[in-house]
Amino acid sequence: MAQEASSSTSSKTISLKTGDGEIFEIEASAAKQMKTVQRLIDDLGDDITIPLHNVFSKELPKIIEYYKKDITGEITKDFEAEFVKDLNDDEVKVLFLAANYLDANKLFEFLSQNIADRLESKSVEYVRKYFGVENDFTPEEESKLREERAWSFRGIKEDE
């Protein structure tokens, strides 16, 4: 339903430059869905190449692919399933962080759900590694904590 009213910007393309120096083009209407990009356009003008320091050439095409579908209103559950099917956990994480950086809400929500699905029933160690969390508990602290919180580990079906 997010169709833009047709205006002179609807066929315009915006140039985006990734952190590793590659340039990609997107439609102005797709750029509108990424609030960070739109803010930069508002400040810098739409003729200039917009720099995206924290997004790289590996992930940006995938993001552009998503929003290409979004502006034509074609995002379906099948498309979303297909979109993440061949991505490994790290690739999803990188996309997620990029979506957050770009303030691209729809993609961000979708990837949040996907990450939650991927982490379902995974072990603590796996989740820790995934989020990049450094364990700052001493072994004694950790075992004490696990004991205190035994209720959150008990009786749950595992499939690690």
* CA 135/CA 137 separation, integer angstroms: 6
Subset of 84-103 contacting another protein (CB under 8 A): 93-94, 96-97, 100-103
Residue partners of 59: CB distance under 8 A and separation at least 6: 91, 94, 95, 98
Q: Cβ of residue 93: shortest distance to another protein, in angstroms?
A: 6
Q: How many other C-beta atoms can be found within 10 angstroms of the C-beta atom of residue 121?
A: 10
Q: Of 136, 139, 140, 160, which lies in the binding site for another protein, with binding defined by CB under 8 A?
A: 136
Q: Site for another protein (CB under 8 A): how many residues?
A: 52
* 34: nearest Cα among 19, 22, 16: 16
Q: Is 11 or 124 the residue whose CB approaches another protein more closely?
A: 124
Please say which residue, 7 or 121, places its beta carbon nearer to another protein: 121
The residue (of 51 and 69) whose beta carbon lies closer to another protein is 51
DSSP H or E run through 23: strand 23-27
Out of 26, 40, 60, 95, which residue is the one contacting another protein (CB under 8 A)?
40
Rounded to 5 degrees, what are φ and ψ at 159? -140, 35
Neighbours of 36 (CB within 10 A): 17
Q: Which residues bind another protein (CB under 8 A)?
A: 19, 36, 39-40, 43-44, 51, 53-54, 56, 93-94, 96-97, 100-103, 105, 108-109, 112-113, 115-117, 119-122, 124, 127-128, 130-137, 142, 145-146, 149, 151-157
